[in-house]
Structure 1
């Protein structure tokens, strides 16, 4: 397994460290289980530090022979060195990608054409079982439309995906209707319109980060109802693995 920062829309060392901390927690701390220990072994001290701090120390030591310091590098170079260190660790752990579970994902649109792909990597707060914290998911989104491709490190919610699936099922069974996916944090807005003729249209907007004015819009028209069962099945599989938890109370 090779992790690439560009796949998650990350731009700085700190962003990458926070993402990896959350990703590791979502996988019950097995993904980077011995990373802290390995870094401490290389640095010969610092076992009381969390791995982001140790990683900075290890990278700084490795740079000593180059005449450059970590602080002199730009944000992207610092982040790339962190991911290089993580990938080196994963290679050393002999992480077998073929033995790993395939990512849970749903393709909305054409697999070979314009589409939205939602990939669910895990829960952000796996220890939480309440509605507000327990349903956040690490769920990067890829949008392909025309000559544009964008991928954002979105955080969708299990309850949002469940509601979207329910609306898709109704629209499919009723031979017409609208299904909407609206992200609480505005990462993704998606509307699937099923017409009585069987024609399906998809309209959507994705943003590259919370609060950003950068938007990628899509409009897909070359679909029909035969595409929907696969989408519904994929959403059902995600829901079975990451069911919505807790009951919504208050605002």
Structure 2
């Protein structure tokens, strides 16, 4: 009699359970449990003007600026919209989506960060009209800060929302304000006199 052949072993990799890392309309990734997701889009992009909160080695929120949404407009309301790409890596979640923001909001955010650096307590907020990303930073008075963030890949009834927090300390505020300065040099606020004429407008 011939030798009985052993049944082939099942593909263990195929049977390994997966976990959902994000639920964005723009990008949905799955990675095997216990394995790192190989995805070049999660790497911090240094080729464009960008703002980064957090660290690449742990967790971060990154906003990359592509261009002015309406480059021919010199109007304060239309001319200051910028096309951006938002990348997020927190816990087991990875997000990557496009958003239209206003450069004016970065100026307000920088002013709030500078107040936090001096006083160590209080708040610094980044708010955008379309609700693509909200950042609310609170200081504890001792030099520690927590940024509570809400990301929305498509504001409205069909969007997906992710809430997360990133902690940092006073030593990182200078680099945050420097990134905003560089962004506003590359994408300056048009018709900036409107800010002086109408304090508080955004």
Same-fold call, TM > 0.5? yes
User: Which has the greater radius of gyration?
Assistant: 2
Q: Whose helix fraction is larger, Structure 1's or Structure 2's? A: 1
CA contact (8 A) 1:172 1:194 kept: no
TM-aligned CA deviation for residue 227 of structure 1: 1.3
Aligned to 1:9: 26
CA contact (8 A) 1:162 1:244 kept: no
TM-aligned CA deviation for residue 193 of structure 1: 1.4
Segments of structure 2 that go 5 or more residues without pairing to the other structure are 1-24, 28-45
The one-character-per-residue Cα deviations of 1:158-187 (angstroms, maximum 9, x if unpaired) are: 101111111111111222221101110010
Segments of structure 1 that go 5 or more residues without pairing to the other structure are 1-7, 11-100
What is the TM-score with the length of structure 2 in the denominator? 0.70
Q: Whose strand fraction is larger, Structure 1's or Structure 2's? A: 2
Whether 1:241 and 2:180 are equivalent positions in the alignment is no
Give the root-mean-square deviation of aligned CA atoms.
Answer: 2.1
Distance 2:119 2:56 in 1: 25
1:92-171 superposed matches below 5 A: 102-171=47-116
TM-aligned CA deviation for residue 198 of structure 1: 0.7
Distance 2:79 2:26 in 1: 23
Secondary structure, aligned partner of 2:164: strand
Give the number of aligned pairs.
153
Pair 202,181 (structure 1): closer, same or farther in 2 beyond 3 Å = same
The one-character-per-residue Cα deviations of 1:111-159 (angstroms, maximum 9, x if unpaired) are: 3212110111110011111111111001111121101011120111010
Whether 1:199 and 2:144 are equivalent positions in the alignment is yes
Whether 1:219 and 2:165 are equivalent positions in the alignment is yes
What is the TM-score with the length of structure 1 in the denominator? 0.57
